[in-house]
Structure 1
Amino acid sequence: MVIPLGERQDDSVCARMPLAGVTVVDVSTLFAGPYAAQLLADFGAEVTKVEHPSGDPLRRFGQSHDGVPLLWKVLNRNKKCVTLDLKRAEDKDRFLAVVRDADVLIENFRPGTLERWGLGPDVLREVNPALVVTRVTAFGQDGPYADRPGFGTIAEAMSGLASMSGEPDGAPLLPSFPLGDALAGLHAALASMIALHARGRTGRGQIADVAITEAVIGALGAQITGYDTARAKPVRVGNGSTNNAPRNVYRCADGTWVAVSAPAQSVAERVITLVGRPDLVDEPWFATGAGRVRYRALIDGLVGGWIADRDRDEVVAAFERADAAVAPIYEVDDVLDDPHFRAREVAVRVPDGELGTVLMQNVPFRLSETPGRVRWAGPPLGAHTDELLARLSAERGTTSGT
């Protein structure tokens, strides 16, 4: 489905969305920047995705169906796609004309790239002093590593995340999905909204500098504080925890898996009672998470042995009766079949001109009065370029006639 520039699908709904009237130019590529713009688009911002005529590399990344890139459909949903070559003078002028009316610009080129094209923040904000320029890079806009190339994987490695992930005797473990980019995208969306809120008081835009490395470092809790105070480094404990036990994944009799976590003392007591060892509750070491961690092998043996004798449904039912936290280890089809996720509409099917319909994850959080909405999937390359050019031509004609 192609949504014309300047038109909205279901105007009455869009007008009530919380970011209705906010205009965003998304000139970023791949994951982190486009995800930030997607989140804003989900809540009604009018996002114009600007691509080079060869297309965002994301169009050639990951799984496709009938030649149509599926990740593109998700990350660029609710956006309007135009192609401009920002190295060409004519397209540069068109780009600046779009920026002139925008509230936010999101980019994730290596530092200095926009400046080399004559489109640095100084130029953009001269055209539009109220513009928020959100810049997403691996290491930030300054510092010794600013010019290095980098993506989420680099941030996951250098943040300390990989070193604390994996089995104790195994290699450091990287996430199997772009976690660092997703965290940076969330930070970039939040930074953009904070800057817009500040603009309401100052009347001025500003530059938001988002580093993927710093987004991941910030999400890792107190590891820096722990090292500073006690020289304690995180260690790899597999699926376990350094803060509490039991916390692990356990295999059931039918070959499926469940995850168990007991961060609270009362929950740990209920779990150990359920598996037949209520006497351990009275042990002094059982009274704290750190104490239970010292006896992790004993606890895991008891919990794991009890679970191994039962099918998953029996395990889950028993834990629920005991008011203890357990969850089945789901694959994607399990997520789609789960009655809770279905009731919450975690996945939504949207119309698409290339694939007919596309099923994808829904807006990731809910607002009671002004909810977000997935209105259409990521459009084909340049789907709205002609309409953009027509609009700019009409605006020039109106200006010259006054």
Structure 2
Amino acid sequence: MTAPLTGLKVLDLATLFAGPLAATLLGDFGADVVKIEHPARPDPSRGHGPAKNGVGLWWKLLGRNKRTMTLDLSKPGGRATLLRLAAGADVIVENFRPGTLERWSLGWDELSAANPRLVLARVTAFGQFGPYARRPGFGTLAEAMSGFAAITGEPDAPPTLPPFGLADSIAGLATAYAVMTALAARDRTGTGQVVDMAIIEPILTVLGPQPIWYDQLGHVQQRTGNRSQNNAPRNTYRTADGDWVAVSTSAQSVAERVMRLVGRPELIDEPWFASGADRARHADVLDAAVGEWIAGRTRAEVLKAFEGAEAAVAPVQDVREVMTDPQYAALGTITTVPDDPDLGALRMQNVLFRLSATPGEIRWAGRPHGADTEAILTELGLTGPEIAALAAEGAL
């Protein structure tokens, strides 16, 4: 079967996470993604997190389905080569600080002149304009500015940042969607356009109705720990064997099932039990009832009882349990990439979703820095002497 994005050519000039993740998602469904890195300063994601035998493991995930080449865009030969690559590309993803490509004479005017059908995705912390546009920034700042940190954590504890690239990951997903939207528009208009993706924006969207609550009611959401302002019981609870489970009661019927299960059906008759918000205001009572019942049983007993009652529960799992979870196994969420030249067989998350007729696949894990430079330049039509001249200039 032919993958749905076969034939789409993507140049990934971005570093770290949001932009490169967008390119990874396109590559997972068949796009020909070329990762372009500085000859002496590779993408820092290659060195993030644990490594095995000197090989960065995060890069194996983020760099999958990408061919890799080196190119110094600040050199005349590097600039000319990128313009030749752009002429045959569909998408460029970049995350330089605004004005950087323009300083190298590689801005939208030059790129669109080389290829009027090109889509240029520009991923930065704050966007291409505005008072913060030229500031350095990372996803952590978006998590702080958007209001995420302000509502995360215990009420009497400091605002809490996530221990992973949450804002970057959301922006990566949004950028892949934006690129496909721009390509759909190109199918109608025949011309490409610029995607301006500010990392501070997608995370604000997924935070929900906070702006409209404040606009209409002056309501400011507070930190509530694991509890919700919209329903209860909703929390994590410790089991008799020292494990943890999470319970959610977003639906009224599920809340009633939980209270019957834990032996407190009389609470269902309380006037305040009839709505999620009113239940949330009585979370102390409900948490005590649920927590006491769960504390007297093992995790396996709790999960079995909740399943029998058709109430919503899940174990709190770390990655060890994720790797063996039967539902993830059934979905194929963790897959094996065989025959990696650096590490042999390795396991990682599969492609993001399943298509029934044209599925995506992981063709290879992240490749070494510049591994495909000569092959890509040869495909572009450069001769051996021309490649040697680029190398002599320091452009490769």
Q: TM-score range by the shorter chain?
A: over 0.9
SS in 1 for 2:200: helix
Question: What is the distance in 2 between the residues matched to 1:373 and 1:226?
Answer: 42
- The answer for the alignment partner of 2:356 in structure 1 is 368
SS in 2 for 1:371: coil
- The answer for the alignment partner of 1:10 in structure 2 is none
SS in 2 for 1:146: coil
- Equivalenced residue count is 383
**1:92 lines up with 2:71 in the alignment:** no
**1:177 lines up with 2:164 in the alignment:** yes
Residue ranges of structure 2 left out of the alignment (5+ in a row): 386-396
**1:144 lines up with 2:111 in the alignment:** no
Tell me which of 305, 322, 339 is aligned to 2:326.
Answer: 339
Tell me which of 298, 307, 321 is aligned to 1:320.
Answer: 307
Question: What is the distance in 2 between the residues matched to 1:389 and 1:168?
Answer: 56
1:270-285 aligned at under 5 Å gives the runs 270-285=257-272
Tell me which of 206, 210, 224 is aligned to 1:223.
Answer: 210
SS in 2 for 1:382: coil
Amino acid corresponding to residue 112 of structure 2 in structure 1:
R
- The answer for the alignment partner of 1:35 in structure 2 is 21
Amino acid corresponding to residue 138 of structure 1 in structure 2:
A
- The answer for the alignment partner of 1:166 in structure 2 is 153
- The answer for the alignment partner of 1:377 in structure 2 is 365
Identity of aligned residues (%): 56
- The answer for the alignment partner of 2:9 in structure 1 is 23
- The answer for the alignment partner of 1:77 in structure 2 is 64
Amino acid corresponding to residue 169 of structure 2 in structure 1:
A
Question: What is the distance in 2 between the residues matched to 1:75 and 1:266?
Answer: 41
Question: What is the distance in 2 between the residues matched to 1:367 and 1:328?
Answer: 28
- The answer for the alignment partner of 1:8 in structure 2 is none
Residue ranges of structure 1 left out of the alignment (5+ in a row): 1-12, 398-402
- The answer for the alignment partner of 1:260 in structure 2 is 247
The TM-score normalised by the length of structure 1 is 0.94
The TM-score normalised by the length of structure 2 is 0.95
Q: Which segment is superposed worse, 137-146 or 349-358?
A: 349-358
Question: What is the distance in 2 between the residues matched to 1:116 and 1:63?
Answer: 35
Q: Which segment is superposed worse, 313-322 or 91-100?
A: 91-100
Amino acid corresponding to residue 373 of structure 2 in structure 1:
T
**1:155 lines up with 2:135 in the alignment:** no
- The answer for the alignment partner of 2:186 in structure 1 is 199
Amino acid corresponding to residue 221 of structure 1 in structure 2:
G
Please report how far the alpha carbon of residue 302 of structure 1 lies from its aligned counterpart in structure 2 after TM superposition: 0.4
Please report how far the alpha carbon of residue 93 of structure 1 lies from its aligned counterpart in structure 2 after TM superposition: 1.1
SS in 1 for 2:347: strand
Please report how far the alpha carbon of residue 389 of structure 1 lies from its aligned counterpart in structure 2 after TM superposition: 2.4
Provide, for residues 227-258 of structure 1, a one-character-per-residue CA deviation record: whole Å limited to 9, x for no partner: 01110011100011000000000000000000
SS in 2 for 1:114: helix
Please report how far the alpha carbon of residue 91 of structure 1 lies from its aligned counterpart in structure 2 after TM superposition: 1.7
Amino acid corresponding to residue 320 of structure 1 in structure 2:
E
Question: What is the distance in 1 between the residues matched to 2:94 and 2:316?
Answer: 37
Please report how far the alpha carbon of residue 390 of structure 1 lies from its aligned counterpart in structure 2 after TM superposition: 2.1
Question: What is the distance in 2 between the residues matched to 1:124 and 1:280?
Answer: 65
**1:358 lines up with 2:346 in the alignment:** yes
- The answer for the alignment partner of 1:6 in structure 2 is none
Amino acid corresponding to residue 211 of structure 2 in structure 1:
I
Question: What is the distance in 1 between the residues matched to 2:92 and 2:272?
Answer: 55
Q: Which segment is superposed worse, 214-223 or 90-99?
A: 90-99
Amino acid corresponding to residue 108 of structure 1 in structure 2:
N
Question: What is the distance in 2 between the residues matched to 1:364 and 1:140?
Answer: 26
**1:47 lines up with 2:33 in the alignment:** yes
**1:125 lines up with 2:143 in the alignment:** no
Amino acid corresponding to residue 144 of structure 1 in structure 2:
P
Question: What is the distance in 2 between the residues matched to 1:122 and 1:64?
Answer: 41
Amino acid corresponding to residue 47 of structure 1 in structure 2:
V
- The answer for the alignment partner of 2:282 in structure 1 is 295
Provide, for residues 81-126 of structure 1, a one-character-per-residue CA deviation record: whole Å limited to 9, x for no partner: 0000111111211111111100000001111111111111111001
Question: What is the distance in 1 between the residues matched to 2:380 and 2:123?
Answer: 28
**1:236 lines up with 2:223 in the alignment:** yes
Please report how far the alpha carbon of residue 391 of structure 1 lies from its aligned counterpart in structure 2 after TM superposition: 2.4
Amino acid corresponding to residue 356 of structure 2 in structure 1:
S
Q: Which segment is superposed worse, 89-98 or 222-231?
A: 89-98
Amino acid corresponding to residue 11 of structure 2 in structure 1:
V
- The answer for the alignment partner of 2:389 in structure 1 is none
SS in 2 for 1:213: coil
Q: Which segment is superposed worse, 274-283 or 323-332?
A: 274-283
Question: What is the distance in 1 between the residues matched to 2:383 and 2:306?
Answer: 65
SS in 1 for 2:240: coil
SS in 2 for 1:133: strand
Q: Which segment is superposed worse, 132-141 or 347-356?
A: 347-356
Question: What is the distance in 1 between the residues matched to 2:231 and 2:379?
Answer: 60
Amino acid corresponding to residue 19 of structure 1 in structure 2:
L
Question: What is the distance in 1 between the residues matched to 2:112 and 2:182?
Answer: 14
Amino acid corresponding to residue 81 of structure 1 in structure 2:
T
